[in-house]
Amino acid sequence: MSKKIIKGSSTPFRGEITPPGDKSISHRSLILGSLANGHSVVKDFLISDDTLSTANAMRALGITIGINGTQVDITGKGLYGLSEPEKVIDCGNSGTTTRLLTGLLSAQTFTSILDGDKYLQARPMRRVVGPLSLMGAQIEGKEDGNKLPLTITGKKLKGIRYELPVASAQVKSAILLAGLYADGETEVIEPEPSRDHTERMLSYLGVAIQKNGNSIKINKTQEINPGEIIVPADISSAAFFIVAALITPGSEVLIKNVGISPLRTGIIDILQNMGGDIEIINQREVNKEPIGDILTRSSDLHGTEISGELIPKAIDELPIAAVAACFAEGETRIRDAKELRVKETDRIKAMATELGKLGARVLEFEDGMSIHGSRSLTGAVCSSWGDHRIAMSIAIAGTRAKGETQILDAECVSVSYPGFFKIIDELRQ
């Protein structure tokens, strides 16, 4: 499936779907389940390349993990039960696996080496290596510790108070995981709040964690309880079909059981600001995570400004927000989003280039882009840049473009949403 062809059409998107489990929560369920004292069950787990990277990493650290359909059984060995991996741990394409494990492995009594694919090898790791080193970690890597492979020699750590320069749930989580082992108190202060699944899951599994404004504190911990974790459907995956429904006249799509933590629903705020008809119904909670069903109907969209606190709340959905902007009246500006340049690829350059090939009017800024909506795109041969969210965003744009859009290297969708292309066909019958 390296090349995917999408046929543009006016066929509406109609029906009901439940996207696969949340990627962030799935990663965390494996890591915290491995550190718990005893057997945890994870239901509706996301089976994808990224989460399997974490599963294989935890197996390499001596944990037994059984995967049966979307149920995962983890035999946790406690906080001090991990063992030295025999080989280099391959984190594949997954930044979350790499950064969270860098925190965890910094505090062990053995040495581990983390590596990944060429995209991950290009991503910055100093953002975790820096604060972990302040805690006493010993981490070596290419470019003076900034790039993979990283060699992590476990050390006795001490708690720190650390102000994050940029909102990042991965960096925050790496420090909190190290903080479980560090002497004294560890405090992380965020410039803007980022997704808090680590904090919610730690608390659900009985770990004392204090949140006060933008500060999160954790202390050295003796025990994590095992538990049953039900993974909500991933709002980042839902976002593609929310936008598909909004930009295709006559559409109505119900997306069920979606995780709607307020730190993840920035894309709903953005699309509602653009005039999108989106309702969240049937709100409830599973294992301290809010979930709900999202009902979307096609709408006349208009341009908007996307910046500030909205950015971390919608960071992974900005590529698909740019697609929505192509079908909105007037200009949409994305600012304060420089982080997009260090994701799986440079997502500002990737979206500006690929949407440009489809005939969109996009202007690139160092920290974002501006899009002049035209409501008309024309099919072209596009690249995924090896990035799952670019592939899926261009695919949704392609469903509304005139003629045919080819997406090269489309197999990368399996990083987060292996069944993605099938759902397009199912909803457009």
Counting contacts by CB under 6 A, is residue 24 touching ligand S3P? yes
Tell me which of 101, 180, 182, 315 binds ligand S3P, using CB under 6 A. Answer: 315
Least distance in angstroms from the C-beta of 96 to ligand S3P: 4
| The one catalytic residue among 44, 50, 316, 387 | 316
Instruction: Output 136 or 191, the one with its CB closest to ligand S3P.
Output: 191
Tell me which of 42, 63, 139, 169 binds ligand S3P, using CB under 6 A. Answer: 169
> Read out DSSP for 104-155?
HHTTSSSEEEEE--HHHHTS--HHHHHHHHHTT-EEEEHHHHTEEEEEEE--
Reading phi first (left if > 0) and then psi (alpha if -120 to 50, else beta), residue 267 is in alpha
Counting contacts by CB under 6 A, is residue 22 touching ligand S3P? no
Least distance in angstroms from the C-beta of 106 to ligand S3P: 17
Short-list 352, 350, 404, 353, CA closest to 378: 404
**Which DSSP category does 233 fall into?**
B
- Residues 6 or more apart in contact with residue 186 via CB below 8 angstroms: 135, 159, 160, 161, 162, 175, 176, 178, 179, 217, 218, 219
Q: Which of residues 66-85 bind ligand S3P (CB under 6 A)?
A: none
Least distance in angstroms from the C-beta of 192 to ligand S3P: 11
Distances in whole angstroms, Cα of residue 67 to Cα of each of 28, 45, 71, 326, 394: 16, 9, 6, 41, 32
Tell me which of 34, 170, 261, 296 binds ligand S3P, using CB under 6 A. Answer: 170
215-219 β-sheet, strand order: 161-163, 185-189, 215-219, 209-212
Range in contact with ligand S3P (rule: CB under 6 A) among 38-46, 163-171, 179-187, 297-305: 163-171
Least distance in angstroms from the C-beta of 425 to ligand S3P: 26
Instruction: Output 90 or 196, the one with its CB closest to ligand S3P.
Output: 196
Could you confirm whether 316 is annotated as catalytic?
A: yes
Instruction: Output 192 or 252, the one with its CB closest to ligand S3P.
Output: 192
Question: What is the rounded (10 degree) CA torsion for 405, 410, 416, 421?
Answer: 50
Instruction: Output 245 or 320, the one with its CB closest to ligand S3P.
Output: 320
- Neighbouring CB atoms inside 10 A of 254's CB total 18
Instruction: Output 52 or 360, the one with its CB closest to ligand S3P.
Output: 52
Range in contact with ligand S3P (rule: CB under 6 A) among 64-72, 166-174, 222-230, 379-387: 166-174
Short-list 358, 353, 352, 345, CA closest to 395: 358
Counting contacts by CB under 6 A, is residue 334 touching ligand S3P? no
Counting contacts by CB under 6 A, is residue 237 touching ligand S3P? no
- The tokens for 343 are 């994701």
Site pattern 82..101 for ligand S3P (x: CB under 6 A): --------------x-----
Site pattern 348..367 for ligand S3P (x: CB under 6 A): --------------------
CB distance 268 to 280 below 8 Å: yes
Counting contacts by CB under 6 A, is residue 316 touching ligand S3P? yes
How many chain residues interact with ligand S3P (CB under 6 A)? 11
Distances in whole angstroms, Cα of residue 273 to Cα of each of 69, 90, 306, 320, 377: 38, 41, 10, 15, 23
Amino acid residing at 342: V
- The tokens for 175 are 């420090």
Residue positions annotated with a catalytic role: 316
Question: Which residues are near ligand S3P by CB under 6 A?
Answer: 24, 96, 168-171, 173, 195, 315-316, 339
